[in-house]
Amino acid sequence: MSRDAEVPDDPEQIVGDPESIEVLKRVAGNVSSHLREGEVNFKAEQACFLPCTDDNRPVIGELPNVKGCYVATGHSCWGILNGPATGAAVAELVLDGHSSIVDLSPFSPARFVVGSRPRR
């Protein structure tokens, strides 16, 4: 139920797709009879943007040509699950210059810069 769309400047402009919301309500009703329409009062319907990259991999590492600027984003819906490991890896990267718990090279921001190579 995701789609490509520009992120608006004002979060209040983000609205859910009615068709997607109906699918989610139907799925919720299949999971639990207590969540079926008519059985529950919905308080709100909302939508959000997930931070995703074109290659579906997070961006983790030091920005090319910006010494000391580190990013860790683009985890999509897996951010909560992968956040602790990402935080530990970035802490090692910042403190030690590399991560020993995970190879961060596949996630390097340099992959989006033409002619740039990830640091090891």
Q: Are residues 30 and 66 in the same domain?
A: no
pLDDT at 4: 74
- Residue 2 counted as domain residue: no
Q: Are residues 82 and 104 in the same domain?
A: yes
Q: Are residues 107 and 73 in the same domain?
A: yes
pLDDT at 88: 97
- Residue 66 counted as domain residue: yes
pLDDT at 85: 96
pLDDT at 5: 77
How many structural domains does the chain have? Answer: 2
- Residue 4 counted as domain residue: no
C-alpha distance from residue 6 to each of 48, 49, 50, 51, 64 (Å): 12, 9, 12, 12, 25
Q: Which two tokens stand for residue 8?
A: 């608006």
Those residues whose C-beta lies under 8 Å from the C-beta of residue 104, and which sit 6 or more positions away, are 60, 61, 89, 93, 118
Tokens 């996630």: give the residue: 107
The model's pLDDT over 49-63, given as tens digits with 9 standing for 90+, comes to: 888 898 999 999 999
- Residue 82 counted as domain residue: yes
* Residue 20 C-beta-side C-alpha neighbours within 13 Å: 10
Distance CA 98, CA 84 (A): 17
pLDDT at 117: 60
From first to last of its 120 residues, the chain has per-residue pLDDT tens of 667 778 889 988 888 889 988 998 899 999 998 888 777 888 888 888 888 898 999 999 999 999 999 999 999 988 899 999 999 999 999 999 999 999 999 999 999 987 766 555
Which residue range is the domain that position 28 belongs to?
A: 11-49
